[in-house]
Amino acid sequence: MPITIKKVKAIPTAPGGTNLIVVKVETSEPGLYGLGCATFAYQVKAVCTVVEDYLDPLLQGRDVDDIEELWQLMYQGAYWRNGPIANNAISGVDMALWDIKGKIANLPLYSLLGGRYRKAAAVYRHASGSNIDEIEERVSYLVNHGIRHVRVQWQGYGGAKNVWGDFPEDVPEGANKGIYYDPRTYVRKAVELIAHVREKFDPNLEILHDVHERLPLPLALEFAKELEQYRLFFLEDLIAPEEPEALDQVRQNCTTPMALGELYVHPMEYTEAMTKRRIDFMRMHISCIGGLTPARKAAVLGSYFGVRTAWHGPPDLSPVGHMANLHLDLSQPNFGIQEYCNVNARIFEVFDGYPDLRNGFIYPNNRPGIGVEMDENAAKRFPPKEGVTGWTHTRLPDGGLHLP
């Protein structure tokens, strides 16, 4: 008798202060279930609704072994395809099915993906601050703890002048609230910061920087060319995903390695970026593209075009998602680097099995499946936060909205 899906449910929680969504797929086999990440931190209710009101009735009674069939069924089931809400819901189920498959086989997920190509995954950490001294201190701390890849940012993305609700002195009267920044000032100060870090630290330190799609093309190209001399590991999201052809001009004029993909949701966005050799690193948020099934295909495609993986690993990703990233990192020949952020201690009150960070590398726990367990009762103590998302209200000096 096949093992079938009995119930699919969404479990929203925020133990670290950031909204997370985990999907649990229960089966006809007593005690056998899987967990998957469906985290879309800013539209939690929408994802949970898709999971419980649409995917649950669609999937009940179906064979858990048929992952590819079920993924396609979910993907085309609403006729209109793609988008972060639907993709995250699909991802939660997809990862949970892979988790179940590993538990049935009594093997860690990386074994089902071809086995370990490496024993651990190198990570990069973040170093930011309000001035160069603060950032240098943070870089020193990370280097002293074995980190070999560091992303440096001056006051976050774009060198923001203020936080949500405050106003710079030079904005127009009556301007709306937001995160104000000046693109040219940002470029000047970012170059100053990166030059300082390159001068102060070992030349083998790998430096990364995230533009967060906040520059117009002429200034973006100027910035990328200026950074060539500092030999970045990669420059991230120099161009918004809505302007893919602009990367062709960047390629023709500079050699700074490009990372892109955090905002991708449609397969043609990342397949075209790779096949046209516009990027060097794929940065997709795996749950936003639909889970492990499409991510492993994207990784294989990238291997044919010299594109390495650098999966998105922010705080708004559940431990299940972080561990799913790691299983791909361990098994893919074209792994590049893995983003790794600070972990709030309250996470461990809800989840067990987070990747283990040691001397610049993260290691799996080698449990069957994805390897993460969740205390559902503990999760209820940390309900997700509802309300307006403020950090995406990025504004230029004249008060006009800009991409976040």
Please give the positions annotated as active site: 157, 212
- Centre a 10 Å sphere on the Cβ of residue 54 and count the other Cβ atoms it contains: 16
Burial of 61: CB neighbours in 10 Å, binned 0-12, 13-18, 19+ = exposed
Cα 383 to chain centroid distance, Å, stands at 22
Strands, E assignment, 161-317: 179-180, 206-210, 234-236, 258-260, 281-282, 308-309
| Percentages of the chain per state (helix, strand, coil), in multiples of 5 | 40, 20, 45
The residue type found at 8 is: V
Please give the DSSP secondary-structure letter assigned to residue 35: E
Bridge-based pairing state of the strands 206-210 and 234-236: parallel
How do 338-339 and 351-352 pair as beta strands?
unpaired
Tell me the CA distances in angstroms from 332 to 37, 301, 316, 351, one per residue in order.
20, 11, 24, 26
Distance CA 384, CA 378 (A): 13
* Cα 308 from Cα 97, distance rounded (Å): 26
- Please choose, from the candidates 132, 253, 124, the residue with its C-alpha nearest in 3D space to the C-alpha of residue 194: 132
